[in-house]
Amino acid sequence: MSSNLDALYRRVIMDHYKKPRNRGVLEDGSHTINMNNPTCGDRIHLTFNVKDGIVEDAKFEGEGCSISMSSASMMTEAIKGKKVEEALKLAKIFSDMMLGKEYDDEVDLGDIEALQGVAKFPARIKCATLAWKAMEKGLKGEEHE
Ligand code: FES
């Protein structure tokens, strides 16, 4: 990756960290999910409002490093207005990206692409995937913590 692209991606990550999108709690959301990163104790609290198979709204709160919080901001932005199955597809693409696997590049990932460099740092992958795993768990209707 060129250093220019690296610098651009860093800027996108820091922008989401400093100005998080969709930060807060949906008081009457349909889904509530809590998850933490066992290696550092950082945590995320997600609330969604899903109606007729569409994620109408999504918010997050939590404490964590710049990677985990910016990833949560990007995730909520990416899934708002999407069908549940599209949101789950994005979660799969993101997971494949973090594992360094081939992923479906037909889908426009927007700011999420900025996190692809994290795949080179195994210790940070759990930071980037925290919000996505929580989202997947919530939308698949697995037991809430
Ligand atoms: Fe805790 Fe990144 S160091 S989520």
Q: What is the pTM of this model?
A: 0.94
A 10 A CB-CB count for 12 gives 18
Does residue 100 contact residue 119 with C-beta atoms inside 8 Å? yes
CA dist list (Å): 106 to 18, 27, 38, 141: 29, 35, 33, 27
85-121 per-position pLDDT tens digit: 999 999 999 999 999 999 887 888 999 999 999 999 9
Q: Which amino acid is it at 96?
A: D
SS3 83: strand
The pLDDT confidence band at residue 74, using thresholds 50, 70 and 90, is: very high
Does residue 20 contact residue 73 with C-beta atoms inside 8 Å? yes
Whose alpha carbon is nearest atom 4 of ligand 1?
127
Ligand 1, closest atom to CA 42? 1
Q: What is the pLDDT of residue 1?
A: 58
Q: Domain locations in the chain?
A: 3-140
CB distance 127 to ligand 1 below 6 Å: yes
CB distance 116 to ligand 1 below 6 Å: no
| Arithmetic mean of pLDDT, 121-145 | 88
A 10 A CB-CB count for 76 gives 24
Query: Which is it for strands 43-51 and 31-36: parallel, antiparallel or unpaired?
Result: antiparallel
CB distance 66 to ligand 1 below 6 Å: no
Ligand 1, closest atom to CA 130? 4
List the beta strands (DSSP E) in 4-107: 31-36, 43-51, 54-63
36-46 per-position pLDDT tens digit: 999 999 999 99
pLDDT above 60: residue 52: yes
| Arithmetic mean of pLDDT, 45-56 | 97
Q: What is the signed CA dihedral for 51, 54, 57, 60, rounded to 10 degrees?
A: 110
Residue 97 phi, psi (nearest 5): -60, -45
CB distance 26 to ligand 1 below 6 Å: no
pLDDT above 50: residue 55: yes
Whole-number average pLDDT of the chain: 93
Q: Which CATH number describes the domain made up of 3-140? A: 3.90.1010.10
